[in-house]
Amino acid sequence: MSADNVAEMATDAEHFISALGLKKVDLLGYSLGGFIAQKIAADYPELVRKILLVGTAPQGGEEHLLKVLADAFSHNDAPDT
C-alpha cells in the first residue's frame, strides 16, 4: 500500500532514513516535499539537524500563498529594478 497523505509519506521517509542507519539528516523540501520535511521535523526532531524549505508553505497556507502571488502579479506598474 502506498502512502496517500503527508503524514504517511513522512513516516515512510523516516523508516527509509532509519534503514540507511542515519542518525541525523539535513532535509531539503521542495513543494510537497516541504510539507513532508516539516512533518518529519515535527514528529522526529531528534533526526533533523537542518531543514531547508523551498517553494512550499505550512499545511493550510496554500490559500495565503496564492493571495500573496495574485497581489504581486497585480502590480503591473512596478519597476523591474
CB 37 within 8 A of CB 67: no
What's the whole-number mean pLDDT along residues 36-53?
95
Q: Is the pLDDT confidence value at 81 over 60?
A: no
**Residue 33: in which H helix or E strand, if any?**
helix 32-43
Per the structure block, which three cell numbers stand in for 27? 532535509
Cα 76 from Cα 71, distance rounded (Å) = 10
What's the whole-number mean pLDDT along residues 45-55?
93
Q: Which residues contact 70 (CB under 8 A, 6 or more apart)?
A: none
Q: What is the pLDDT of residues 63-73, one digit of tens each?
A: 666 777 777 77
Residue scoring higher pLDDT (18 or 74): 18
